[in-house]
Structure 1
Amino acid sequence: MSIVGISFGLAGTAGFIGATLLNKVLSVSQIFLSCSIFTVFTGLYIAIFIREYSIKNIEKKVKLKAGMLTKDMIKLMSGGFFIYYSMVSVFMIVPQIIDRTVGIGEMWKFFIPGIILGIFSMRISAKLADRGHEKKIVRVSFLVLVISLCCLLADRLYLVEIGLTSYFIGYMCLVSLFPATVTKFSPQNSAGTVAGVFNTVQFMGSFSGGLLTGVLWGISKNTAVYGLIALCVITTLIVNTVQSYSPEHNNIKNEIGVI
């Protein structure tokens, strides 16, 4: 599930970089037409070459029940909502800042450093998470996100670059951690059901990010950024109350409570 989340983030970022480069030889209409053609070929590939696999140890489909979603899982889902909300928001705000200053054709230069450092940070955070340092990663990542978003308030391009690069570092660390943790906490045979809910919440974040940031941008650039910072702080406070990122730790607490 983490790999799927990471691929979404990388694909979106690659689209922003690739589109600016393609726009030098293709018009916007031609770029969208190319995307449509690739979408059709992708659909045909899935329909023809991807086989259906059944998992033998799952006897029946598991329907979503209220008991499947614990308080900690809901808090983690709020983090997933914000990550996708912020991704769409940043991808709306930063290109417009760049377009007003150096031109949209130079945008790829701003994104590449962030992507490289973000992937590097993600690999480090994944190793630390395997050692049980998930809570520290989340706290540091959200702190980095708050700082990065504050940089977007500046008018100087070097601060915008610092903010964008810092954002990618925090984003990459969290976009892999949240879905992996939610999957770990899922009851037996219901990982797919819970993951489906989590993915839905993430895409609701994408929709909300595009809608609300667009409305706030219509007021002013700073209003859109301040709204993003405020939501980041609120989400930080919510996610910071997660008791544990280890199902084993929760099981021990439940056993102690029963005793």
Structure 2
Amino acid sequence: DFQFQVIDVLANVLDDVSKYKNFLDAFKRLNLELENLKAQKAESLKELDYNSFLLQELEAISLQPGDLETLEEEYETLNNIEEINEHLTVAHQLLSDEQTGVLNVLTQLKSHAQKLAAFSGKYQELFERIASTSIELDDLYSEVEAFVEALEANPNRLEEVSAKLEVLNNLLKKHSVGTIEELIEIREALKTSVSFTENLDETIALKEREITEMANQLDSIAGVIHKKRTDAIPGLVSALKNLLETLGMPQSQFKIEVVLSEDYYVNG
């Protein structure tokens, strides 16, 4: 190292050597990254087929947040449609019966309360409360009527919903989670993993191109350093001979060579 330091000072290549060392550090880092990528590829390829299969399963069912709750509610409605229809029909009759229906009774009650309000202001609040209740019951009747009209048995849809629920519950069990949102997270993670693995060859090729470019820069700066060192050696040899002659050793011989190597060393 000391010999190189002497030559480098005479050759005026200290800045070039510093630049070379920076390139060499980057070159080593890129090679380490390449090794890691290749190791990742080898490991990822082992799981690619299985992860792709899991991803296809999750994508096939088109998961959306809230799907499970929506399907379970629809299933309960379709699977119990006769009982639901029975209760809605009774509710509709209780509200609308011409003789004993709540709406008819409340209409009569409101009429009497309105007449009471005409006699004294203290009955006005009673009338207003009954009138408000009447409005609310009218809305309630309209809603019940809409439910009755919308209710329709659909065996095909029931079978479809039942099948989808079975698939969803199997997937929840398979992935050991309890919600659709968690399944969606798993799907997105699998998508990222599969995409990463499938694109590894391209990533590796890009890293290899970076390494080639860095090697070219190293070769270029190393060539500059080598030439400057080679050019400086004759002057160094001459100076050493003169020094030895003054010390009484005129027959001394020196030979200094800087040999090119295919390997990259820390000093160039």
TM-score bracket for the superposition, by shorter chain length: under 0.3
TM-score by length of 1: 0.23
Question: Which structure has the bigger radius of gyration?
Answer: 2
